[in-house]
Structure formats: C-alpha cells, structure tokens
Structure 1
Amino acid sequence: MPRGTKFKPEEIISKLREAEVELARGKKIPEVCKQIGVTEQTYYRWKEEHDGLRMNQAKRLKELEKENARLKRLLADAEPDKAILKEAASGNF
C-alpha cells in the first residue's frame, strides 16, 4: 500500500495476528514487517495500541475516539459564547 495509507482497526488486528503466527514460526521482526507490508515502527506502534484487542473492541475504541474528538470540538466552540454570556449577565458590557 502507498505510504500514509490508513488501515481499518480490523485490518490492523488481522495483520498483527498474522505477524504473531510468523514470529512463532521463527521469523525475525524485519522479515515479518516486510511480509505484512508495514515498517517496523508502524508494527511496534500498532502492537502498543491494538495488541490484545478483539475486532469488536477495536471498532468500539475508534468510535469512542471519534466521539471524544467531536465533543472536544463542540466544547471549544462553546467556550467563547459562554464567556460572553457570563460577562453580559454580570452587567460589565
């Protein structure tokens, strides 16, 4: 895949499982990374983020991360309005 291609959580977990199988067969990490089509750095990052997760857990985690980011944006957008209303209510306008 081209550089910078995003993988879905299911694909990442699948590739990590494939890597585990190959490592159990005695292959070295650089060989396994080449086989699954990612860099060693990506492999280690994925392993840290997704190791031990099942497919449905990974999907849910991504959904929650998206929802969290959306809520943070909404809160950031509401803060200036809240400050203006607070100032107006105190009579300092």
Structure 2
Amino acid sequence: MKGKKHTPEQVIAKLAEGDRMLNEGKTVGEVARTFGITETTWHRWKNTYGGMKGPDMKRLKELEAENRKLKIMVAELSLDKAMLKELAIGNF
C-alpha cells in the first residue's frame, strides 16, 4: 500500500502542531497516530525538518533546484567529454 506524499510545508506545519501536542503531555505514538503516520516517519521528519521555518524551507527548495540543474550540467559535460575522447582516438 502506497502512502501519501506530504509537502515540506505540510511536514513543517505538522511538526509544529506535534511539538505542541508533545508539550501538552501526549506521547510520540499518539501524535503520530493523529497525523496518520508511523513513529519512524515522525522521527525522520524531525531529523530532516526539525528546526526549519518558512524562509529556511524556501532556501532549501532553491538549493535543491540548483543542485538538480548542476547534476544535469555535469552529466552533459561528461557525455561531451566521452564523445570527444572517442573522436580523438578515431573510433567513430
């Protein structure tokens, strides 16, 4: 069964609400059940998005987009380099 995908904004909102619930005395298990996730997912979210706020999330998205572009550029340049090596050797 495939779980539903949460956006980073939704995760940050749920973490804030969950922290409030934990401060009221609820357990991690109760908080996780409230959001329909497992405790493992809760801890993974805390590790990934724990201290983030709105501007931090925007910056993270920008960095991820830039990283994607750079990876594509590296792949294209590596392909160009391999083609030029083949041409230089004469195996075409």
TM-score tier by shorter-chain length is 0.7 to 0.9
The alignment's C-alpha RMSD in Å is: 1.9
Q: Which runs of 5+ in 1 are unaligned?
A: none
Structure-2-length-normalised TM-score = 0.82
Q: What pairs with 1:1-93 in structure 2 (closer than 5 Å)?
A: 3-86=2-85, 88=87, 91-93=88-90
Structure-1-length-normalised TM-score = 0.81
Distance 1:43 1:9, change over 3 A: same
Q: 2: CA distance between counterparts of 1:3 and 1:34?
A: 17
Runs (4+) of structure 1 exceeding 6 A deviation are none
Q: 2: CA distance between counterparts of 1:87 and 1:19?
A: 57
| Identity in percent | 43
